[in-house]
DNA sequence: CGCCGCGTACGTGGTTCCCCGTACGCGGCG
DNA sequence: CGCCGCGTACGGGGAACCACGTACGCGGCG
């Protein structure tokens, strides 16, 4: 994790100098196991974003899709009254930015210093047309997104504040890139702010803070630099079970 | 609408007799405008469901996908504590039941007497592999579902009870099959129960009732047989705007 | 360097209010 | 009738809301 962070920081530093260079051809470090995405790599372009920087805005033409190399991205919806909701977080490895329509319906912003690769939509669709495997993979990405959305909807509609926070931490732990040192005490990075988490969970930052503090006092989690360490997974799963609405 | 209801009721009656017959080849009544789905019709099988009947359960093998001919279907998620959430409603014309995984993550139940066509997953995927247009269309269906899910998530996370009910009615009006008599007073069919609506909106049936009653008193909507008639779209859009959370 | 000032992000306490949860009454339909 | 779906009234609770205190990171400047 430390090593990884260092590497990606180096990439970021290189790109921040202005060399928005072409992505290297199929990673030399990875031997076999050709991903269906590999065929796309020749069309990929790297770009770095600073913390808080906008990747695209709602209404923009949806002529690209992206993959996260390092950092993180939030998909944000705003309404006319200024209310904000974070629909999703995208972490390293995630593909995002595919749309059915021609325009973005959400905006995307970097939650931390972030490096992305983007692919032209035309190229992606042309490749999908020809390589059935890629088309199938893209469909799977969309359907997995839908499945995750359904879980989030359940969370927003039916779970109490404490459960939401606990579920969020567990989800982040699940999705985090495989951790080298996971002796049941799993470190989870939380690159996003409390406000982002609150807007994702349909809460306020105070409520998120309070519940995190309680989990710390209970010894279920421990606060780290910019994240948490899960000490008791079982307790985390059962947290707030009694305070449910139904 | 009346005529349509009659037709589909006839179909339902025929199928309820037990003849789960093959779907007719490319509808003779529709001349040109070949839909990407037409290639699938030869694999389609009709089946009727009674109100409340299960189409599939969570955990079942996901070896089919479905299209609604008449009636309606709810996608339901349940948790270990018995809490329920209705992720989506599927209306006539909608395709559903595509999954990334091999097993259903939600269950599907008919909200009223309903007729569906189902297609074997293998056939769908084989066709998608060969006909790029179908693969693209399936991707679009999934991405539109994702978009709608994002809107529902915003609703669940950030909108007050009154706004949720109003938004739901507007969405149903939007999605309803084009209404012949829409002199701004649009009739919206609500085949599902109040409990279904409540579980979809993250509310209780009492709260749904209260807000619908208020809308009726205000003259914004009028109650009909099994649905409502929207009398004042503008008022419906602005309903509950002051009671927001942020 | 070491100190200060500043802005951002995060944690805590008290009050208010919306919505849940319970309970009861009503009409329709089998 | 007996059941189900639906509308109405009322008290309690949980999260929003407001306000304040704390801990950093950063740049300037003596």
Q: For chain A, which residues make up each domain, given as ranges? A: 36-156, 159-237
- Measured CA angle at B125 (ends B122, B126), to 5 deg: 80
Which pLDDT does position A69 carry in this prediction? 94
- Residue carrying the six token digits 């007073």: B185
| CA neighbours closer than 13 Å in the CB half-sphere of residue B234 | 0
Q: Is the pLDDT of residue B79 over 50?
A: yes
Lowest mean pLDDT: which of B10-24, B31-45, B53-67, B204-218? B10-24
Q: What percent of chain B is modeled with pLDDT above 70?
A: 79
Beta carbons of A208 and A169 less than 8 angstroms apart: no
Q: Quick one: which residue's CA is nearest to C22's C1'?
A: B206
Burial (Cβ within 10 Å: 0-12, 13-18, ≥19) of residue A204: middle
Which pLDDT does position A14 carry in this prediction? 44
Q: Report the distance separating Cα B97 and Cα B45, nearest Å.
A: 15
Average pLDDT in the B167-186 region?
Answer: 74
Give the rounded distance of the alpha carbon of A79 from its chain centre.
Answer: 22
Q: What is the pLDDT confidence band of residue B184, given thresholds at 50, 70 and 90?
A: low
- Neighbouring CB atoms inside 10 A of A201's CB total 24
Contact A139 B138 (CB under 8 A): yes
Which pLDDT does position A178 carry in this prediction? 62
Instruction: Say which residue, B7 or B145, is predicted with more confidence.
Output: B145
41-100 in chain A: CB under 8 A from chain B = 75, 77, 79, 81-85, 87, 98-100
Beta carbons of A195 and A205 less than 8 angstroms apart: yes
User: Domain A36-156 maps to which CATH number in 3.30.70.270, 2.60.120.10, 3.40.718.10, 3.40.47.10?
Assistant: 2.60.120.10
Burial (Cβ within 10 Å: 0-12, 13-18, ≥19) of residue A214: middle
Which pLDDT does position B42 carry in this prediction? 85
Which pLDDT does position A40 carry in this prediction? 82
Instruction: Say which residue, A177 or A1, is predicted with more confidence.
Output: A177
- Neighbouring CB atoms inside 10 A of B74's CB total 24
**What is the pTM for the complete model shown?**
0.85
Which pLDDT does position A196 carry in this prediction? 95
Taking CA atoms, B61 is separated from B45, B55, B142, B161, in Å, by 18, 12, 19, 36
Nearest to B100 among A79, A144, A149 (CB): A144
Q: Report the distance separating Cα A144 and Cα A123, nearest Å.
A: 22
Beta carbons of A116 and A73 less than 8 angstroms apart: yes
Q: What is the pLDDT confidence band of residue A34, given thresholds at 50, 70 and 90?
A: low
Average pLDDT in the B170-188 region?
Answer: 73
Query: Gap from B165 CA to D15 C1', in Å?
Result: 21
| A 164-193: CB within 7 Å of strand C | 193
Q: Which chain A residues have a beta carbon less than 8 Å from that of B132? A: 128-130, 135
Q: Is the pLDDT of residue B9 over 50?
A: no
Q: For residue range B198-226, what is the model confidence (pLDDT) as tens digits? A: 999 999 999 999 999 999 988 899 988 88
- Neighbouring CB atoms inside 10 A of B184's CB total 8
Average pLDDT in the A72-89 region?
Answer: 94
Q: Is the pLDDT of residue B16 over 50?
A: no
Beta carbons of B169 and B230 less than 8 angstroms apart: yes
Instruction: Say which residue, A103 or B3, is predicted with more confidence.
Output: A103
Nucleotide nearest the Cα atom of A223 (by C1')? C10
Instruction: Say which residue, B177 or B148, is predicted with more confidence.
Output: B148
Which pLDDT does position B239 carry in this prediction? 84
Distance from the first to the final alpha carbon of chain B: 40
Q: What is the mean pLDDT of chain A?
A: 84
Q: What is the mean pLDDT of chain B?
A: 84
A17 touches chain B (CB under 8 A): no
Q: For residue range A172-216, what is the model confidence (pLDDT) as tens digits? A: 999 876 655 555 568 899 999 999 999 999 999 999 999 999 999
Beta carbons of A107 and A76 less than 8 angstroms apart: yes
Q: What is the DSSP letter of B39?
A: G
User: Domain A159-237 maps to which CATH number in 1.10.3720.10, 1.10.287.3510, 1.10.287.110, 1.10.10.10?
Assistant: 1.10.10.10
Q: Which chain A residues have a beta carbon less than 8 Å from that of B102? A: none
Which pLDDT does position B176 carry in this prediction? 77
Question: Which chain A residue lies closest to B159 (C-alpha atoms)?
Answer: A83
Structure tokens at B154: 């915003």
Which pLDDT does position B39 carry in this prediction? 75
Instruction: Say which residue, B13 or B103, is predicted with more confidence.
Output: B103
């Amino acid at each position: 994790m430390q090593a990884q962070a260092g590497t990606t920081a180096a990439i970021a530093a290189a790109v921040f100098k202005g060399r928005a260079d072409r992505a290297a051809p199929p990673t030399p470090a990875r031997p076999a196991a050709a991903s269906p995405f590999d065929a796309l790599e020749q069309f990929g372009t790297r770009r770095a974003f600073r913390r808080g920087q906008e990747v695209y805005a709602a209404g923009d033409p949806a002529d690209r899709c992206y993959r996260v190399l390092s950092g993180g991205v939030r998909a944000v919806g705003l309404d006319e009254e200024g209310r904000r909701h974070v629909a999703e977080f995208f972490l390293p490895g995630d593909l995002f930015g595919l749309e059915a329509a021609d325009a973005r319906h959400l905006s995307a912003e970097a939650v931390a210093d972030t490096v992305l690769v983007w692919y032209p939509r035309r190229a992606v669709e042309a490749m999908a047309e020809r390589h059935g495997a890629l088309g199938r993979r893209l469909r799977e990405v969309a359907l997995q997104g839908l499945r995750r959305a359904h879980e989030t909807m359940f969370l927003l509609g039916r779970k109490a504040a404490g459960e939401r926070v606990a579920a969020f931490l567990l989800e982040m732990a699940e999705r985090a890139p495989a951790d080298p040192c996971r002796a049941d005490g799993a470190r989870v990075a939380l690159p996003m702010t409390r406000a982002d988490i609150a807007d994702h969970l349909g809460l306020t930052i105070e409520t998120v803070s309070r519940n995190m503090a309680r989990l710390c006092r209970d010894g279920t989690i421990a606060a780290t630099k910019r994240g948490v360490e899960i000490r008791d997974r079982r307790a985390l799963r059962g947290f707030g079970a009694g305070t449910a609405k139904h």
